[in-house]
Structure 1
């Protein structure tokens, strides 16, 4: 049953005499933020191998077909569409002496670690069933870990730009993880380029070691949650889904992020094939991705500063337009033309993350507005939808891009015709360009900016104060 608040409290106005303060991007202790952000390392460290290397290695080294791998990824997303909102809803209404988020993060970390062991260190014969079971368990643990973690990051501070700062720390930590994960295959390519099992084991080691180290550090970074205690509301899965799809601003953020992740996922899923077969430079396959993320680490703070100055949605729009231009530029790349590909890769590094960083911060702002309108905090539910858009974008990229290039005649196990390689180029370039254009269109003119969010926060503070029991 919903909780009803007096109308004068729920809709308490913000008078014109209340000025919007300048929300400076500082406040929380930097060391604590770094410790909290460390949990992004294993989360991000697993993301890139799943999107980039795992499909290629399981196809080339273990003999699974591209169509089978794509079907497994898509099937997992159907499972995730049910599991993620449930995890978000249960996390929002969890009450324990350790808080709402910590029990889920601990349990998720255990499932995540066990599944990662099976996926990166195959101990049995690799079959479609083995891949499906390991992948499903991996994503379940990932959701149990990531969704409460993202929701908690939105509750540490309610300030508009401080949330961008929190996400920036997480993005930089995640980019550093990606850098480390990409260094290892690059080194292995120079020594044993055909050893897919060794690459999997190296990347899996990074995931597991960083998880063991980061989990206790992140859990102890902020002992007390800043979010106010909210009434527990029992939601069925259909009702939870309806809440997500009835919020138009949240839908815009989710759809924009889905497009961002799909574009990035297409590029990630095909870059090994593109560099190896179209460019004819297999020794550069891992190195180019490494180069991209070296520049991506520096890009996080740069985009944060841009967001402080022009606002989150404008920064996201700008970054997505730049991404469109970069991906269209790939159409000019011809086999062996490494300098142009290097330049576009560096530009991609600087541009990447702008959308992900800003959109993740915007979800917490939308959740604040939802709490103002309904009286209920459903931050984790909203982030579960955001997490779903991330993983759905990755799965759509693999589930569509790989079968599409296969339909166009590309096969990594045989010699390819010029037509098949040209088809690979078109999907690699135009797929991300179209996705980033859609993302830019969706985020353009987003109405919940700093000024309007400040009014939401002030009204929430006034209402919470009015509802607080007298001492």
Structure 2
């Protein structure tokens, strides 16, 4: 395919140009909240599966089914590598898919069925069949189904609206439903512990039942809530995956977004990984170890609509910067929390919940804008591949954060138990507070010069629509 004319984009435009961009897509139909909620509902079971996969599955398969911890660790390590590899493969293939049902819908439908089947096998395992080979095979199918749902649905979300702020709205609904899914899998086992503590099998089945019960209706709602927008390019020229990947990783705005999200996620994983140690051993509040994490997620449900409004008012880049600086300040304020100082810790936890994911939300909303700029420059729509690359940050970030934080506090002399020296406890506090704060500051510096603001994106959309009209495909939203 011939390369399309490339519109240079710059963050600074005069007032007239900016005002014009406000009305660039005035003909686009607004997306109803009810339909957006239905479309985003698939995030509930998908997000709800991640936490128990880390918390309950390894422990249960070791204690209840007798698998060795070494075997489980190796299986999960290999499974994570497969998970990382599957994302870009699914993203690239969904970009190339051409069916009368659309590009993304067939992948989500098949992936949902595979995800449901593998979830049933993972969370309700037949005891007589459980072996290391069984766990490895089920995880292989589980991660593949997860990728087949998550990557195409993320790409489709970026295509629902061509409007700069419309995309923020779509991503905010996804973030809201994702928070609800995470909150549910935190609350349900907590309630169970009040009536039947220590019942790991029932806990696993309770979470598995939640995933399966929410998957069926949410999958249907996601598939029927919207029609896929018409393609705005002629059938793609076949390219090798290596060539497409090279072009993607040479896209500097995408790399800027990916790097920022990876650093943000790393900082969040430091906080999540150390919060129990901090509450139990530094604060001396073991009863609040799980409660603080749950409290943060309860207020985190309100974060998505809050930051969607902020992003619509001031722009994605500015909202991302504001959110990252707010989270940096909240984490630095933890230095002023001392043992027994529960009120200030609760206040900072609530503030953390209200700012939770603000940067991640805006960065995710930026990916579709970056994909538009890439399509204008190259003539190829690689939205699915772009979102699959962006998904890597959710997997690289935690590995980076925990891989730095745990060895660092161990080097400072901290051990998970009583009898730590005051210096070791202070080191724990400083890593817990300053590790995430530094990550948020670095992410701010990375995204500071991101070039795609609302006016620049409006120019890119006008150029793409002009080209679509020339080739006769159009871009009207259905």
TM-score band, normalised by the shorter chain? Answer: 0.7 to 0.9
Please, which of 340, 347, 360 is the counterpart of residue 364 of structure 2?
Answer: 360
Structure 2 distance, partners of 1:211, 1:262, is 29
Contact kept in structure 2, 1:333 and 1:341, CA below 8 Å:
yes
Structure 2 distance, partners of 1:336, 1:63, is 41
290-299 or 18-27: bigger deviation = 18-27
Please, which of 387, 394, 399 is the counterpart of residue 390 of structure 1?
Answer: 394
Please, which of 304, 307, 321 is the counterpart of residue 303 of structure 1?
Answer: 307
Partner of 2:271: 267
Please, which of 450, 455, 458 is the counterpart of residue 451 of structure 1?
Answer: 455
Partner of 1:437: 441
Partner of 1:417: 420
Structure 2 distance, partners of 1:288, 1:339, is 12
CA change 1:174–1:81 in 2 (3 A) is: closer
Partner of 1:41: 44
- Report 1:55-70 matches (<5 A): none
Partner of 2:247: 243
Contact kept in structure 2, 1:12 and 1:459, CA below 8 Å:
yes
Structure 1 distance, partners of 2:405, 2:135, is 19
Q: Structure 1 residue 20: deviation in Å?
A: 2.0
Contact kept in structure 1, 2:296 and 2:353, CA below 8 Å:
yes
- What CA deviation, in whole Å up to 9, does each residue of 1:57-101 have, x standing for no partner? 789999999999877665544333432211111110011222111
Query: Does 1:21 pair with 2:19?
Result: no
Please, which of 302, 325, 328 is the counterpart of residue 329 of structure 2?
Answer: 325
74-83 or 376-385: bigger deviation = 74-83
Unmatched segments (≥5 aa) in structure 2: none
Query: Does 1:171 pair with 2:175?
Result: yes
Structure 2 distance, partners of 1:439, 1:451, is 23
- What CA deviation, in whole Å up to 9, does each residue of 1:256-288 have, x standing for no partner? 111122222232233344434444434333322
Unmatched segments (≥5 aa) in structure 1: none
457-466 or 53-62: bigger deviation = 53-62
Structure 1 distance, partners of 2:69, 2:405, is 10
Structure 2 distance, partners of 1:398, 1:199, is 26
Structure 2 distance, partners of 1:423, 1:66, is 30
State TM-score, norm by structure 1. 0.86
Contact kept in structure 2, 1:51 and 1:265, CA below 8 Å:
no
Please, which of 31, 34, 46 is the counterpart of residue 34 of structure 2?
Answer: 31
- What CA deviation, in whole Å up to 9, does each residue of 1:378-419 have, x standing for no partner? 10000000112222223444555456556666665x656346
Structure 2 distance, partners of 1:60, 1:408, is 32
CA change 1:469–1:438 in 2 (3 A) is: closer
- What CA deviation, in whole Å up to 9, does each residue of 1:201-247 have, x standing for no partner? 33232222211220011101113434435422323232232122100
Give secondary structure in 2 for the equivalent of 1:28.
Answer: coil
Partner of 1:312: 316
Contact kept in structure 1, 2:262 and 2:396, CA below 8 Å:
yes
Structure 2 distance, partners of 1:401, 1:432, is 10
State TM-score, norm by structure 2. 0.85
Please, which of 76, 82, 90 is the counterpart of residue 93 of structure 2?
Answer: 90
CA change 1:437–1:93 in 2 (3 A) is: same
Structure 1 distance, partners of 2:283, 2:131, is 31
